[in-house]
Amino acid sequence: MNPKKKALGRGLSAILESPETDITSKDISGSFVAGAIASIPIGQIESNPFQPREDFEPEALNELAASIKEQGIIQPITVRKMGYDKYQLISGERRLKASKIAGLDEIPSYIRIANDQQMLEMALVENIQRESLNALEIAMSYQRLIDECELTQEELSQRVGKNRTTISNYIRLLKLPVETQVAIRDSKITMGHARALISIEDEPTQVTILRNIIVKDLSVREVEEIVRNLNRQPAPKKSTEVKDLPAEIDLKRLNIASRLNTMVNVQLNNKGKGNIVISFNSRNDLERLLSDLNG
């Protein structure tokens, strides 16, 4: 029996013997086997254009490179065959980058056959499950799976093993203001902070609270309490004599509201007269506000 036919005899031989999907790479056992782990020259692997991860910490890469020098690659990367001696990365970019830093010439790799859509889906799903993506990168990956792979949230939940509510919470992050998204990306706030901020409809208020989270190092619980206080207080009714606040005054109002953790309303008439109203929910809340104002 032809040894190559035997090695490929898993229902894949018709595909794998095609010139476009030639996969006669020698694996680490010395056999020519499709789908096995092959030791591939790093120079033959091109980057993945669908890679969802954008930021790689140099320090973390150097630590991984040192580990690879000491212990080798524990988990193979995944590539697809592009042609003779040419491969494209599906997942494992962090390991590939660290291997280059470590000076490796070859890297153990799973070889798969995939068209572009299958490749995108595999790259996104495997990265979501195995890589330390930040919350914003996960959200973008989920959205790309929905948009580009035409998946419903229910189908996506099955693909990645997460419940639909979790996926929905991540995708909602993409509706946050840019400043808030950058704070998530840079790990200045957590997913918990972001989820609390999402429920604030007024964008300037949301951004003001965001800045206070960063400056004052507010906990998720503290932010949730601020949001609860804001949401339970009704918006003031405008009379015909009250005009919209100038932007600089409204910004100061928002800063005071965030500092006091309560709703602050300013009413200003055409003559420049008006009122400042500071809301409170209980006697204890009033005493807290008075203490903060005195301080």
Annotated catalytic residue, options 54, 93, 106, 225: 93
Question: Catalytic: 248?
Answer: no
C-beta neighbour count of 4 within 10 angstroms: 15
Cβ distance 196 to 230 under 8 Å? no
Two tokens at 261? 């953790």
Cβ distance 89 to 79 under 8 Å? yes
Burial (Cβ within 10 Å: 0-12, 13-18, ≥19) of residue 113: middle
Q: Which residues of 178-204 are buried (b: 16+ CB within 10 A; e: fewer)?
A: eebbebbbeeebbbebbbbbbebeeee
Instruction: In whole angstroms, give the CA distance from residue 227 to residue 208.
Output: 12
**Identity of the residue numbered 166:** T
Length of the chain: 295
CA-closest candidate to residue 94, choices 135, 137, 49, 60:
60
Helix (H) or strand (E) holding 195, with range, is helix 191-198
40 bridge partner residues: 107
Angle at 39 between CA 129 and CA 103, to 5 degrees: 85
**Identity of the residue numbered 227:** V
Instruction: In whole angstroms, give the CA distance from residue 96 to residue 104.
Output: 9
Q: Annotated active-site positions, please? A: 93
